Amino acid sequence: MSIFVASLWVLVVICVVLFLYTRSDTTASGDASFRSFQLTYLVVYMLAMAGDWLQGPHVYALYQHYGMSTHDIEVLFVAGFGASMIFGTVVGSFADKYGRRANCILYGVLYGMACVTKHFGNFWILMIGRLLGGTATSILYSAFESWLVYEHNKRGFSQDLLGTLFSHATLGNSLVAILAGFVAQFFADSFGFVAPFDVSLTVLAIMCVVIIFTWSENYGDSAVNVRTSFVSAIKSIKSDRKILCLGVIQSLFEGSMYTFVLEWTPALTPVATTASSVASRRLLEEEDVTVEGHRGAIPHGYIFAAFMIAIMIGSSLFKILCRWTSIESFMRPVLFISAVALCTPIVCPGNQLVIFIGFLVFEVCVGLFWPSLGTMRGKYVPEETRATIMNCFRIPLNLIVVIILVQNLRMDLIFKCCVMFLLCACLSQHVLYRLVLQHTSAEQQTSSAGIL
């Protein structure tokens, strides 16, 4: 049994134990109205994420099937991140003025159109698909959360329950990712590489129908135009350092995370340790080496499943840590640990066991990061420009990934950049923590003065 398979089963046991432990102590267990609201959101969110996950495993393979060169494929991937950075920022920000529900439906339409383009082997049609998909991704990571936070607050639920909901969303997303991988593989094996995209299109259509019949509309400030919304968002970022810190954390951590997604395969393969990022991927495609150095393929399915279960473990740990301390406090060591975890390919190049353990630790931190960031944004980001602010910080996020993709850097240098980004995110988290302490102290002093 390989280390990957053995680790997977150990993680499954840990995940089940933690899930049962945290589930038995959930504060929402007796709140029927919250459970109903949670189900309304999670059904749509899981369908939205399934539409995304179903496409991921076979994008590269489909492009290769159409005879695209490695350079063409790289250009298409860069275009996707670039579209998310430019067009996605604008379209995603429409949510505050024209409605978060409408923006979520637009996500399904745009991503569905991107799926349709996969039926054509023409480079420029596929490029249009990447632009549509990149734009849709910005909506996915802003409008859904903006809708949720508004409705959660409107119904008068507590901030603790918001954290619980984000934790359940993170856990469910990981389960959906694993299931989507199996479904996509089945349809790809049965009907060809384009079939998973047709399944994704179906799922996205179902999501749109469910939104129409179960979600109400909400807005940021619908009275202002988009330009004014951007101006207000920039003013909020400049005037409130807590929002700025959150944006820095989001951009640097997620930028590192997306870079990690592109690099974990070559990092776990010895031949890649001295090669540049792009060159190592090409060599892996040509040689098809295993982790032991023999011909074959590293078990991507088992590794991916292990990563997703590690994220689920992190989402359960989030609930446990919230009982003992504030999110602003415990996220400081979490971000530091994530930086240390990505040092493993630098310190121990070629050691698959050490690198794999480091990557699992990083994924646990990812599982902690998602519900933590969502909860903190729910506290500090103003409702009027919530989606706009979130999309503003996706600009540096995507810029980080684009720069790393086009520079053809050595893999050790890429991981050094990620470590540096994560340490800066840790520093920003510490600044946020100090700002919150100062604000709390000032409020207490004001309250005491009022009593006297």
Q: Is the pLDDT of residue 448 over 70?
A: no
DSSP lists the bridge partners of residue 295 as 289
Please give the C-alpha separations between residue 333 and each of 91, 175, 392, in angstroms, as whole numbers. Answer: 35, 26, 26
* Helix ranges, 192-324 (H): 195-214, 226-239, 241-267, 277-287, 300-324
Q: What is the pLDDT of residue 443?
A: 67
Assign 215 a pLDDT band (cuts: 50, 70, 90): very high
Give the model's pLDDT for residue 270. Answer: 62
% of the chain beyond a pLDDT of 90: 61
Q: Which amino acid is at 337?
A: I
Residue 316 has pLDDT above 80, yes or no: yes
Residues 53 and 197: beta-carbon distance below 8 Å: no
Domains plus CATH for the chain?
Answer: 3-22+39-269+300-442 (1.20.1250.20)
Identity of the highest mean pLDDT range in 138-147, 216-225, 334-343? 334-343
Over residues 136-145, the pLDDT tens digits come to 999 999 999 9
Q: How confident is the model at residue 282 (pLDDT cuts 50, 70, 90)?
A: very low
Please name the residues in contact with 373: beta carbons below 8 A apart, sequence gap of 6 or more: 246, 249, 250, 253
| Residue 447 pLDDT | 62
Confidence category of residue 420, pLDDT binned at 50, 70, 90: very high
- For the stretch 426-441, pLDDT in tens is 999 999 999 999 878 7
Cα four-point dihedral sign 103, 109, 113, 114: positive
Quote the pLDDT of residue 287: 38
Mean pLDDT of 398-421: 90
pLDDT for 342 beyond 80: yes
Name the pLDDT band for 280 (thresholds 50, 70, 90): very low
Provide the pLDDT for residue 160.
84
| 3-state secondary structure (DSSP) of residue 295 | strand
Whether 319 shows a pLDDT value over 70: the answer reads yes
Q: Tell me which amino acid residue 334 is.
A: V
Would you say residue 292 has pLDDT above 90?
A: no
Continuous segment of H or E residues that includes residue 48? helix 32-53
